[in-house]
């Protein structure tokens, strides 16, 4: 392990132009003691990714095929297991860093006690062709805040962690397709504190709306993965979590036209917490949309 070297893990799959942009944003960092591990998750394409890497003519960029389970987590774990740095950072191939990302996070982390195993920063996310800024502004053992989604900490691309923490925390869960960053961070916060660097350092580009069936299934899987941590929450906080969870799932079910099951989830949520105005409005919107649709279809017949 090389002192002050940062290993940047970039999983990639069929995003050549965006990959070029991501790599370029790392090479532009004010902290230059880096290695970039590009992990290709596409079994059918080596040459195009290698062409992107070769275009930079920089020996700090290294190429690997994902040697583990297909998907971003298997690719991230391939990178971790081949990293030589004292620190590891992750960058999705469709995101980019601002030039001060690594320098600011390293300075911040080095001012903290040994109980701090990593650092996160603010980020910009693209929504409807506009940029919104998310700043967590809290630090320490903030596991409850992360579980309850009370602080916007984790995108994966805005984390920097000490490599040694992986031995205790473990690798990314390769069984999860969604919420994998939250699951990893919850395990991390069970053992370490997380520092906050006040700089906004990452641009997260817009993502496609998730398939509701897939999102519902993955959310249930995620709940099982973190069930032991949920039991550690105070009762009022656990109720808050499940009230939100049941409402989220009701919305996904309504999007799948599973109205009867969605109402059962909503009743569970209401039993815990009578009102959650924003999500309840969404539920009512999709509920009446589902009811109106068959009526409208009959009129057309």
- Maximum distance among all Cα pairs of the chain, rounded to whole angstroms: 72
List the chain pLDDT tens, one digit each, 301 residues. Answer: 777 899 999 999 999 999 999 999 999 999 999 999 999 999 888 899 999 999 999 999 999 999 899 999 999 999 999 999 999 999 999 999 999 999 999 999 999 999 999 999 999 998 888 899 988 889 999 999 999 999 888 778 999 999 999 989 999 999 999 999 999 999 999 999 999 999 999 999 877 778 999 999 999 999 999 999 999 999 999 999 999 999 999 999 999 999 999 999 999 999 998 777 788 899 999 988 888 765 554 443 4
pTM for the model stands at: 0.91
- The interaxial angle of helices 235-255 and 259-272, nearest 10 deg, is 160
**Phi and psi for 152 in degrees, rounded to 5?**
-85, 85
3-state secondary structure of 69: coil
Bridge partners, residue 36, by sequence: 8, 61
Q: Cα–Cα distance between 136 and 145 in angstroms, integer?
A: 10
* The two structure tokens encoding residue 136: 């967590």
Buried b / exposed e over 112-123, threshold 16 CB at 10 Å, is: beeebbbbbbbb
Q: Cα–Cα distance between 207 and 90 in angstroms, integer?
A: 17
> Could you tell me if 174 and 76 are in contact, meaning their C-beta atoms sit under 8 angstroms apart?
no
295: Cβ contacts below 8 Å, ≥ 6 apart: none
* The two structure tokens encoding residue 168: 């205790």
């Amino acid at each position: 392990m090389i002192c002050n070297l940062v290993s940047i893990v970039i999983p990639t799959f069929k995003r050549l132009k965006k990959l070029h942009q991501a790599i370029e944003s790392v090479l532009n960092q004010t902290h230059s003691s880096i290695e970039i591990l590009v992990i290709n998750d596409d079994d059918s394409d080596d040459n195009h990714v290698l062409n992107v890497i070769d275009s930079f003519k920089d020996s700090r960029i290294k190429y690997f095929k994902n040697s583990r389970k297909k998907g971003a987590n298997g690719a991230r774990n391939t990178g971790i297991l081949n990293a030589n740095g004292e620190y590891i950072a992750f960058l999705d191939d469709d995101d980019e860093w601002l030039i001060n990302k690594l320098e600011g996070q390293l300075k911040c982390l080095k001012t903290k006690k040994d109980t701090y195993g990593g650092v996160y920063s603010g980020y910009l996310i693209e929504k409807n062709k506009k940029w919104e800024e998310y700043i967590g502004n809290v630090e320490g053992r903030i596991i409850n805040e992360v579980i309850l989604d009370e602080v916007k900490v984790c995108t994966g691309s805005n984390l920097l962690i000490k490599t040694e923490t992986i031995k205790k925390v473990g690798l990314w869960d390769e069984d999860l397709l969604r919420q994998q960053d939250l699951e990893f961070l919850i395990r991390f916060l069970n053992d370490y504190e997380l520092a906050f660097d006040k700089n906004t350092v990452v641009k997260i580009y817009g993502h496609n709306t998730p398939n509701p069936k897939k999102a519902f299934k993955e959310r249930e899987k995620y709940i099982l993965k973190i069930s032991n941590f949920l039991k550690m929450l105070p009762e009022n906080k656990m109720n808050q979590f499940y009230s939100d969870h049941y409402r989220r799932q009701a919305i996904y079910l309504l999007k799948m036209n599973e109205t009867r099951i969605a109402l059962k989830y909503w009743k569970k949520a209401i039993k815990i917490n009578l009102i959650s105005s924003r999500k309840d409005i969404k539920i009512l919107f999709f509920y009446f949309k589902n009811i109106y649709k068959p009526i409208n279809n009959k009129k057309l017949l």
